[in-house]
Amino acid sequence: MTVEGTCEPRFTEVAEEFERNLRERGEIGASVCVIVDGETVVDLWGGSAVPPGRPWRRDTVGHVWSCTKGATALCAHLLADRGELDLDAPVTRYWPEYGANGKEGTLVRHLLAHQSGLPVVRTPLPKGAFYDWKQMTETLAAEEPFWPPGTRHGYQGLLFGFLVGEVVRRVSGRSLGTFFREEIAEPLGLEFWLGLPEEHEGRVAPTIPADPSADLPAFYRTAFADPASTAALLIGNDGGYLLTPGESDSRAAHAAEIGAVGAITNARGLAGLYRPLSLGGGGLVSAERLALMAPAVSAGTDAVLQVPTRFSLGFAKAVDNGYLPPADREGIGYTETAFGHPGMGGSVGFCDPPARLAFGYTMNKQGPGLGINPRGQALVDAVYRALGHRQAGSLWYRPD
């Protein structure tokens, strides 16, 4: 398949792995972008956006799923950096209704760190619920948590954006998508949307689901075996968003501001989002705020995903799950100083400030795992090798 774009000689291995993904690893269409010291050193795209006919072009964009969480978290950190939002304050300071049914002690940081105790909701959600912000936030405000907030962590897979995004809305007076566009995407010149304008709909590469597999991660096995589990509620009580064929690629889904999983962009957009952070804040946030964004605050077995996960305040941290059974081995293989977020099926964006690195990878053909899939990890690994880093297990370390 044709690969286009640019790649500096130092990063030739990234281009080689990108081509191998298309040739040998089942990639259909994809893009990768690497920024070092603020300069783009890799910007490649290739394959098919809509097989077999439409090629992946420079301006092709796609659904990046949970990579969205990094954008939403950054909105909260901008407000915190300006002194308008206190992450250690109760959520009720900004969203009074949220304190119902045992949630009055929830802190804003609990929402960012997946410690809210509200990874899913019990209240049955009607079809299209994710397209109705008011309905979703009222439902969340009325729910009882599954555990006392702050006592453990469980992935808020589809609800993170409504939880954090409603705080952003209450503080800023703007919807999450509007705040992101006006304060981040437009100033940085990013083609990255939380709520895609209809004029760009024709550029979207539709998602191609992962191939059916008998060897499913524990999360999916539990979801199918126990309808009352948080895993089952995550994928089954979402107003039809995940399990209705084509729903997540509908115009209604793309237009909605779904701050956990709904963003539309490409590798250039993901890398561009993290570029300022890779430069110590880059005028977007202060160095002091950046230092608070990186450290892990949640770690251990995830109450929802049932494998070890690690999160900072809104971002996914490195985790090596290579010792687990094959279906659960997919982790996040970057350095301890890096932070960002993968998306369901394998897309990923992150920064590594000490390495002055920003990275983005998007694709249309999903993998079955819950972390960075082998195609994306091969690209990340090639970048770190080019930078002279060393590897232990699936994680990377600076040579010094």
Residue 272 pLDDT = 98
pLDDT band at 385 (very low <50, low <70, confident <90, very high): very high
**Nearest partner of 265 among 53, 47, 78, 33, judged by Cα:** 33
**Can you tell me the distance from the alpha carbon of 385 to that of 400, in angstroms, rounded to the nearest whole number?**
14
214 pLDDT tier (thresholds 50, 70, 90): low
Q: Looking at residues 368-383, what average pLDDT do you find?
A: 94
Question: Above pLDDT 70, what percent of the chain?
Answer: 100
Would you state the pLDDT for residue 126?
A: 97
Instruction: Summarize pLDDT for 16-74 with one digit per residue, the tens.
Output: 999 999 999 999 999 999 999 999 999 999 999 998 889 999 999 999 999 999 999 99
At 399 the pLDDT is: 84
Would you state the pLDDT for residue 182?
98
pLDDT of 368:
87
- Copy the structure tokens of residue 263: 């963003």
Res 92 pLDDT > 90: yes
Rounded to the nearest 5 percent, the helix, strand and coil shares of the chain are 40, 20, 45
Q: Which two tokens stand for residue 156?
A: 């808020």
Q: Which residues contact 359 (CB under 8 A, 6 or more apart)?
A: 33, 34, 35, 270, 271, 274, 340, 348, 349, 350, 351, 352, 379, 380, 383
Q: Of 151-160, 322-331, 390-399, which one has max mean pLDDT?
A: 151-160
At 277-324, the pLDDT tens digits run 999 999 999 999 999 999 999 999 999 999 999 999 999 999 999 999
Q: What is the pLDDT of residue 210?
A: 92
Q: What is the pLDDT of residue 19?
A: 98
Strand partners, 35: 40, 358
DSSP 8-45: -GGGHHHHHHHHHHHHHS---EEEEEEEETTEEEEEEE
Q: What is the mean pLDDT of residues 324-339?
A: 95
Q: Which amino acid is at 223?
A: A
Cβ contact 33:267 at 8 Å? yes
Rounded average pLDDT over 231-240: 97
User: Quick one: what percent of the chain has pLDDT higher than 90?
Assistant: 96
Q: Could you give the CA distance from residue 183 to residue 170 in angstroms, rounded to a whole number? A: 16
> What is the rounded average pLDDT of the residues 136-140?
98
pLDDT at 246 over 90: yes
1 has pLDDT over 80: no
Beta strand 357-363 with 348-352: parallel, antiparallel or unpaired?
A: antiparallel
> Phi first, then psi: what are they for 349, rounded to 5°?
-135, 140
Least confident stretch, 212-226, 256-270, 297-311? 212-226
Q: How far apart are CA 189 and CA 282, in angstroms?
A: 14
Burial 95-124 (b: 16+ CB within 10 A, else e): beebbeeebeebbbbbbbbbbbbbbbbeee
Angle between helix axes 160-172 and 68-81 (nearest 10 degrees) is 30
- The CA-based angle 340-343-347, given to 5 degrees, is 85
Question: Which residues partner with 204 through β-bridges?
Answer: 61
Instruction: Determine the pLDDT at residue 209.
Output: 94
